[in-house]
Amino acid sequence: MVDIEKPSNFIRHIIDADLRAGKYASRLWSGRPGPAAQQGAGAGDTATIRTRFPPEPNGYLHFGHAKSICLNFGLALDYGGACHLRFDDTNPEKEDQEYVDSIIDAVRWLGFDWQDNQYFASDYFQWMYDFAERLIEAGHAYVDSQTGDEMRASRGTLTDPGRNSPFRSRAPAENLALFRAMRAGEFPDGTHILRAKIDMSSGNINMRDPPIYRIRHATHHNTGDVWCVYPMYTYAHPIEDALENITHSICTLEFEDQRPFYDWLLARLAELGCVNTPLPQQIEFARLNLSYVVLSKRKLIQLVEEKHVDGWDDPRLPTLVGARRRGFTPEGFRRFSEMIGVSKSDSWIDISVLEDCQREHLNETAPRRTAVLDPGKLIIDNYPEGQEEQCLAPNHPQKPEWGKRAVAFSRELWIEREDFMEAPSKGYFRLFPGNTVRLRYGFVVKCAGAERDADGNITAVHCDYLPDSKSGTPGSDSYKVKGNIHWVAARHAYACEVRLYDRLFAVEAPGEGGLDFIGDLNPRSKVVVTAQLEAALKDAAAEDRVQFERHGYFVADRIDSRPGAPVFNRAVTLKDSWAKGK
């Protein structure tokens, strides 16, 4: 069993210490994001901590985001805090309402609730702009009019300090006038840029007067053409956190070198009375790297655009919409997230850990059903034609309280073709001439042999049944057989499309060794079969999850299923078929 006790971790230690010290106890909060002047009129913040999940609405969420979502929302839940859903939409070019909607769906699906704390960073553009003017007036920012090439050339390297821009000594009044002209649309893109005035000789390149506002004549999905200057991400993000009264701003490790700027900027804005104190603190953790998938947005887009998969919600993609169609569960993701925990150093998690978490939850929750995925006929010669009866099959072997269901039994059945062998190999206990097996939850049958067509292909297997061997009737246990196979009565079966999904990539690290990752796709990641299912599965509702006995966990596809005509997707097999040594 997976231990889903919440293990402690370094982020919890920081929060515990902050709460013990009362670090954030005195925060004022008006109930809405805003600068210090507005929060000052507010009451104390009743949320112990505030975290946020800040996706940029420029793509579909993937398994890596699930880790971040479970972490941020999970901490808020555990500590009696709040977690904000914030769309970090400061970049005018790549964002889209379609992504906003899909992100909302995905976070809800994972089971989290942000109450009324749903925000758009672009709603703060005016405050961000005003703060930039305050920084200019205080001598903390200047307009640089070098070309891009000149700026790059004077930035220095990891070992050499940078050089001051010739425009660095502009007076605040001149900077302010230029910045206002930038905002008024008087200059084309790239002609001027607003930079923080920090230290061109800093050992941290991010502190060498980083750009904070650029000219960009572009239409924004939320603010339209109101703005032609846009804040840089590194400037916008700390401000968003401060305006929203975030206490712990949790992000991935690549932002570690940005933390000094995060702190510098908010300290200046606090001095200037722009933002509320105590200030939020940035905490970095290692991003999720998973074997057998790719999580980079660029690679996911390539897979979709080049049609290696059937769209963003393809069940093989590591997107959350894909996982949902695959039959994965929110509980499985939350369990996974608890299991892998958080750390400060990069590591790889094997995809089997996620699959096991899904399997465990599905095992507990999915009723058992019968499906023959590779159907061949079994004819019971001594069972009267036209006769039929019911057999009782348990809905879950470990949960008798779930009861049993009746399944029809008759003369012609579907069985898996691999459950018959003319000449059995060693250790094969299923149907072969002369052998007896139990038809699971039904009768014991004795195999007579097979019928073949002109080409030698088996068209039907024949057997006789033992009338007093019916499961559940007195004395039926006295038959000792080694084979126990599943079946579906042919006359009642529901013939159905079933998609047998498997890992999208055939290797642990797609694209490793310089090869194109596309070359590592698993050619058998989607196999479509026409299966024969027990009759009642015809009534499965979209997203019903079941275990097909002996096969794995399946879900009625939420897109392609029709009432009375569901199609099924395989979520995971019963056991890890990729485990080493198999």
Min CB(148)–ligand ATP separation in Å: 22
Which residue has the closest beta carbon to ligand ATP?
A: 64
Min CB(308)–ligand ATP separation in Å: 20
Q: CB-based burial of residue 369 (10 Å sphere; 0-12 exposed, 13-18 middle, 19+ buried)? A: buried
Min CB(79)–ligand ATP separation in Å: 19
Nearer to ligand ATP, 85 or 489 (CB): 85
Residue with the two structure tokens 């559940």? 472
* Binding of ligand ATP by 9 (CB under 6 A): no
Nearer to ligand ATP, 68 or 291 (CB): 68
* Binding of ligand ATP by 55 (CB under 6 A): yes
E-only strand ranges, 220-374: 229-231, 248-252, 281-285, 289-290, 348-349, 368-369, 371-372
Min CB(320)–ligand ATP separation in Å: 12
Site residues for ligand ATP, 256-295, by CB under 6 A, read 287-288, 295
3-state helix, strand, coil in the chain (%, to 5): 30, 25, 45
Nearer to ligand ATP, 237 or 462 (CB): 237
Of 24, 35, 39, 68, the one binding ligand ATP by CB under 6 A: 68
* Binding of ligand ATP by 206 (CB under 6 A): no
Min CB(18)–ligand ATP separation in Å: 20
Nearer to ligand ATP, 52 or 183 (CB): 52
Whether 56 sits among the annotated catalytic residues: the reply is: yes
E-only strand ranges, 286-353: 289-290, 348-349
The answer to whether 89 and 57 are in contact (CB under 8 A) is yes
Site residues for ligand ATP, 15-54, by CB under 6 A, read 54
**Exactly one of 56, 412, 508, 543 is catalytic; which is it?**
56
* Closest C-alpha to 548, from 563, 529, 561: 529
Tokens matching residue 378: 């079994």
Angle between helices 63-79 and 10-20 (to 10 degrees): 30
Cis peptide before 278 (omega within 30 of 0): yes
**Exactly one of 287, 446, 550, 558 is catalytic; which is it?**
287
* Binding of ligand ATP by 251 (CB under 6 A): yes
**Exactly one of 32, 134, 214, 297 is catalytic; which is it?**
297
Site residues for ligand ATP, 295-324, by CB under 6 A, read 295, 297
Angle between helices 351-365 and 330-340 (to 10 degrees): 130
* Closest C-alpha to 419, from 395, 445, 387: 445
Min CB(360)–ligand ATP separation in Å: 22
Min CB(581)–ligand ATP separation in Å: 29
Of 29, 34, 49, 65, the one binding ligand ATP by CB under 6 A: 65
Nearer to ligand ATP, 65 or 334 (CB): 65
Whether 385 sits among the annotated catalytic residues: the reply is: no
Angle (nearest 5°) at CA 14 between 10 and 20 = 140
* Binding of ligand ATP by 234 (CB under 6 A): no
d(CA 328, CA 579): 20
* Binding of ligand ATP by 64 (CB under 6 A): yes
The count of chain residues that interact with ligand ATP, using the rule CB under 6 A, is: 14
Nearer to ligand ATP, 295 or 379 (CB): 295
* Closest C-alpha to 334, from 323, 325, 344, 326: 323
Min CB(266)–ligand ATP separation in Å: 18
* Binding of ligand ATP by 67 (CB under 6 A): yes
Of 9, 12, 32, 56, the one binding ligand ATP by CB under 6 A: 56
Q: For the chain, how far is it from start to end, CA to CA, in angstroms?
A: 22
Rg of the Cα atoms in the chain: 31
E-only strand ranges, 46-106: 50-53, 82-87
d(CA 411, CA 385): 6
Whether 287 sits among the annotated catalytic residues: the reply is: yes
Catalytic residues: 56, 287, 297
Q: List residues binding ligand ATP (CB under 6 A).
A: 54-56, 58, 64-65, 67-68, 251-252, 287-288, 295, 297
